[in-house]
Amino acid sequence: MCDQTFVAITFGPCDCCGKASPLMNIYIKSEATNYCSFCVEVMATQGLQAGESAASLKKESDSLKKKLEEERAKLSDIELSQVAEKIEVLAPLSIKTRRVLKGHGNKVLCMDWCKDKRRLVSSSQDGKVIVWDAFTLNKEHGVTLPCTWVLACAYAPSGCAVACGGLDNKCSVFPLSLDKNENLNTKKKSVAMHTNYVSGCTFTSSDMQILTSSGDGTCALWDVESGQLLQSFHGHTADVLSLDLAPSETGNTFVSGGCDRKANVWDMRSGQNIQSFECHESDINCVKYYPSGDAFASASDDATCRFYDLRADREVAVYQKDSIIFGASTVDFSLSGRLLFAGYNDYTINAWDVLKGTRVSALFGHENRVSRVRVSPDGTALCSASWDNTLRIWS
C-alpha cells in the first residue's frame, strides 16, 4: 500500500468563496466539500451563533474526537515503527566532541550555521553575538546588542549578514563586512518589531525577508530593506517559542511551536493556519522539518520529542524514555532524516532513530542545559550551544 491512498485536494479553489488557497476537506450534512480555512472559520462561527453554546459545542467536539479515534482504531493503521521493523538496527554512533568554542561570557542561547558549512553565528545572554569560523576556532565578528538574552540568531543564505533578536522585542540585521575593524553596530538595521521578546528568527530563501516568532503569540514575515511587515500569523494563544521554514518545492509554509502546546503549520502567503497539532503535554520548545518537508519534529518540556506526518495530519511517533526526566529544548535531523538529535535540560544530547523510535546514542559533555543543536548544512557535524557558555562541534 503506498502513500497515494491519501486522497485530499490540498490546494485549489474553495467551494464557498471561490478563491484559490490551501483547502481543508470537511463534511457538511454528510457531503464532502472543500473549504479554505477562512470559510471554515466563518462557517464554524456562524454555527455557534445559531443558538449553540460553547459548552454544547465542546461536548459535541469531544464526542466527535472520540468517534474519530474509534474509527481510526478500526482501520488499523500501521505504525511507523512497524514499517521500520525490516530495516536494520543502527549501531551506536561513535560521535565525539571535535571542537569546543569558548568565548562567550554567559549562557549561549542560540546558534545557526552558515551555508559555507564552517562558519556559524551564536548569541548569548550577555547581549553578544559572535560569528565564528568553527574549523579554526577563530572569532571573525562580534556585536554587542543593547539588550540581554539574545534568544534568536540566524545566518543569511548568502553568508553576508546575520539577524538577531531577543528581549529588545526587535530583530535586527547586521551586514557582515570584510573589514575586521569596522564596528558592525553602525550598519545595524532594525527590521522586526514585536510587543514581546523575539524567540526565533530565520531568513527565507533570500537575504531580503525574515520570519520571526515572538513571545507576544504571533509570527511575522518582514521585508528587510524597508522593515515593512509583510504578513502576520495569529493563532497561538501563548508565547511562540520556535519556528522552522519548510524545505518544500513551493516553499510556502512554515511550522511554529509555542507555550500553548500547539504546533501550527502556516501558509506564508495568506497568513492562514493550515494545520495544527496538539499532542504535547507541555510547552513546545523547538520545531524542525524533516529534510523532505513532509513531516516535522517537536521538542517539549514534557521530556518527549514527537514526529508528525503532514500529509496524514497526525503524530506518528513519540521519542521518550523513562530515564529521561528533563525537558527537551531543541531538535534537529541529520542529513538523511534517519537520526533526530535532541538537546535536553539535563545537559545531554540524545540521538534517536526516527523510524524505529529508539535511542541510538547519548552525548555527554556539556555542563549546563543544551539550548540549541544544529546539524551542519553538509551533514558532517553537529553543533550544540549550551548554558555553560560554550559551543561544541560533534562528529
Residues 11-50 that bind another protein (CB under 8 A): 24-27, 32, 40-41, 44-45, 47-48
Q: Which is nearer to another protein, 59 or 183 (CB)?
A: 59
Interacting residue with another protein among 215, 257, 343, 357 (CB under 8 A): 215
How would you list the strands of the sheet with 152-155, edge to edge? 152-155, 161-165, 170-175, 189-193
When asked if residue 375 is in the footprint of another protein (CB under 8 A), the reply is yes
Q: Which is nearer to another protein, 142 or 379 (CB)?
A: 379
- Judged by CB under 8 A, the chain residues 42 through 101 that form the site for another protein are 44-45, 47-48, 54, 57-58, 60-62, 64-65, 68, 71-72, 75-80, 83-84, 87, 90, 93-95, 98-99
When asked if residue 230 is in the footprint of another protein (CB under 8 A), the reply is yes
Interacting residue with another protein among 381, 385, 386, 392 (CB under 8 A): 381
Q: Are 283 and 241 in contact (CB under 8 A)?
A: yes
- Which string of DSSP letters, residue by residue, matches 154-218? EE-TTSSEEEEESTTSEEEEEEPPS-TTS-GGGG-EEEEE-SS-EEEEEE-SSTTEEEEEETTSE
Stretch that binds another protein, among 137-145, 175-183, 184-192, 305-313 (CB under 8 A): 305-313
Least distance CB 143 / another protein (angstroms): 21
Q: Which is nearer to another protein, 103 or 379 (CB)?
A: 379
Q: Are 348 and 361 in contact (CB under 8 A)?
A: no
Least distance CB 341 / another protein (angstroms): 9
359-367 — which CB contacts under 8 Å span 24+ positions? 359/319, 359/321, 360/90, 360/92, 360/93, 361/92, 361/93, 361/95, 363/95, 363/394, 365/97, 365/392, 366/390, 366/392
User: What SS3 state is found at 373?
Assistant: strand
* Helix (H) or strand (E) segment spanning residue 386: strand 382-386
When asked if residue 137 is in the footprint of another protein (CB under 8 A), the reply is no
The number of helix segments (H) and strand segments (E) in the chain equals: 3, 31
Interacting residue with another protein among 66, 89, 100, 135 (CB under 8 A): 135
Q: Are 253 and 37 in contact (CB under 8 A)?
A: no
> From residue 331 to residue 350, what is the string marking binding to another protein with x (rule CB under 8 A)?
---xxxxxx-----xxxx--
Dist CA 148 CA 250 (whole Å): 37
As given in the structure block, the three cell numbers for residue 90 are 543502527
Interacting residue with another protein among 115, 138, 187, 232 (CB under 8 A): 115
When asked if residue 210 is in the footprint of another protein (CB under 8 A), the reply is no
When asked if residue 141 is in the footprint of another protein (CB under 8 A), the reply is no
When asked if residue 217 is in the footprint of another protein (CB under 8 A), the reply is yes
Dist CA 26 CA 32 (whole Å): 6
When asked if residue 243 is in the footprint of another protein (CB under 8 A), the reply is no
Q: Which is nearer to another protein, 16 or 90 (CB)?
A: 90
Instruction: Give which of 339, 342, 337, 335 is closest to 320, Cα–Cα.
Output: 342
Least distance CB 182 / another protein (angstroms): 20
Least distance CB 183 / another protein (angstroms): 24
> Which amino acid, residue 340?
L
- Judged by CB under 8 A, the chain residues 253 through 292 that form the site for another protein are 259-260, 269, 276, 282-283, 290-292
When asked if residue 308 is in the footprint of another protein (CB under 8 A), the reply is no
Quote the DSSP letter at residue 93. P
When asked if residue 232 is in the footprint of another protein (CB under 8 A), the reply is no
**What is the number of residues in the chain?**
395
Dist CA 381 CA 8 (whole Å): 38
Q: Are 298 and 280 in contact (CB under 8 A)?
A: yes
Q: Which is nearer to another protein, 1 or 186 (CB)?
A: 1
Q: Which is nearer to another protein, 74 or 180 (CB)?
A: 74
When asked if residue 201 is in the footprint of another protein (CB under 8 A), the reply is no
Tell me the number of residues near another protein by CB under 8 A.
128
